Structure 1
Amino acid sequence: MEATDIRHFQYKRHWEQEGHSLVIRPAEPHDAQEIHRRLTRVVEEGVYLNETPDSLPDREEKREEIEDIREGGGMYTVVEVDGEIAGVALLRRGLEGTSDHTAKFRTWLVPGYRGLGLGTQLLEYTIEWARTHGVEKINLDVWDNNDRAIQLYEKYGFQVEGRRLKQAVIEGEYVDELYMGLFV
């Protein structure tokens, strides 16, 4: 993999929006407890993520995950609104030597923070981070009923590369799992 000049990448972003202070920054191990608490809330909705509260890593495992992703050349980022973690975005690199030029993208926002443009900000940050750190392709999966997310991904150039039919039942309806990719 080609070495990349990362001096021009802004690791922390701060801006004001409608009287709120917003920050995107790398997650730190001490964020694990709050990330776990917030993620549990998202998972309990049963709509966006294919997990249950029982399947989630505990706080210590979440701390280790943050460190492992960073040590593996990936990105683990939080977005804060007025000092509260509102969501995360992460890129987990593929296996070293075979697929580490790719990274799997995952993101979520806590209820109450959706529709504020935070997803767009996280995606732009992630794409810039990927370009700056030698990631050639970003992969993700999304339920086909998540129209808002799919529209956002398509706006930034992600294309559907595959579909798993009737992969889940959400709110009593079958949904397909879409696999999308973006060459950066």
Structure 2
Amino acid sequence: MKIAPRDFAGKGLAYTLRSAQEEDASELVAVRLQIDGETENMDRERGEGFLDEAAFRELIRADSESERNLFLVAVANGRIVAFSRCQGSSLKRLAHRVEFGVGVLQEYWGYGIGKQLLQESIAWADEHGVKKMTLQVLETNEKAIELYQRLGFETEGVLKQDKLLSDGNYYSTIVMGRFAK
């Protein structure tokens, strides 16, 4: 599904949130690789689960046509600096929910872009009859957990020792959900 572009400003940064377009595919390849290499909060290490330009084009096309998917990008200073995705299911037993994921380039942390992407996704979900949004977050990502809680997400469970990080230790993943009001 697509949404109308919206402009935002915060902490001296102006940016636009809009639906991803097929022309964004090449840039998204690079942005995703960079984000994956900047933090261990993501599921992937840099280069893992690689999506090339053709795969991104197909993903964007499919998400644009689906009533249960939403692929957003944040554009600042003439480039994509963040993205988020809500992915739904066509299975009847799961059709009431979507899973949310987000990535923000490290140099753009602290501007509220991730929060705005989530708020736009929540508004979209509520407007389109999505009953539940889910997400997974690494236990050490305390700022994200606090944000999710402020926006109505609750902890539903913990996947113990779920991820092996570069320090050689295993960390848990927190599963969170938000029900439509």
Q: TM-score, normalised by structure 2?
A: 0.90
- Count of residue pairs brought into register by the alignment: 177
Written as runs of structure 1 = structure 2, the 5 A alignment for 1:13-92 is: 13-52=6-45, 53-73=47-67, 74-92=69-87
Determine the structure 1 residue equivalent to 2:159: 164
Q: 1:82, CA displacement in angstroms? A: 2.1
CA distance in 1, matches of 2:65, 2:129: 15
2:175 equivalent to 1:179: yes
Structure 2 gap ranges (5+): none
Moved more, 9-18 or 101-110: 9-18
CA distance in 1, matches of 2:151, 2:12: 27
CA distance in 1, matches of 2:39, 2:179: 30
Written as runs of structure 1 = structure 2, the 5 A alignment for 1:136-175 is: 136-172=131-167, 173-175=169-171
Structure 1 gap ranges (5+): 1-8
Q: TM-score, normalised by structure 1?
A: 0.89
Q: 1:18, CA displacement in angstroms? A: 4.5
2:4 equivalent to 1:11: yes
Determine the structure 2 residue equivalent to 1:118: 113
Q: Which runs of 4+ in 1 moved over 4 A?
A: none
Contact 2:13/2:111 (<8 A) preserved: no
Moved more, 25-34 or 61-70: 61-70
Question: Secondary structure of the residue that 1:97 maps to in structure 2?
Answer: coil
CA distance in 2, matches of 1:156, 1:55: 29
Residue 33 and residue 10 in structure 1: after superposition, are their counterparts in 2 closer, same or farther (change >3 A)?
closer
Q: 1:180, CA displacement in angstroms? A: 0.5
Contact 2:7/2:15 (<8 A) preserved: yes
Question: Secondary structure of the residue that 2:134 maps to in structure 1?
Answer: strand
CA distance in 2, matches of 1:115, 1:46: 15
Determine the structure 1 residue equivalent to 2:125: 130
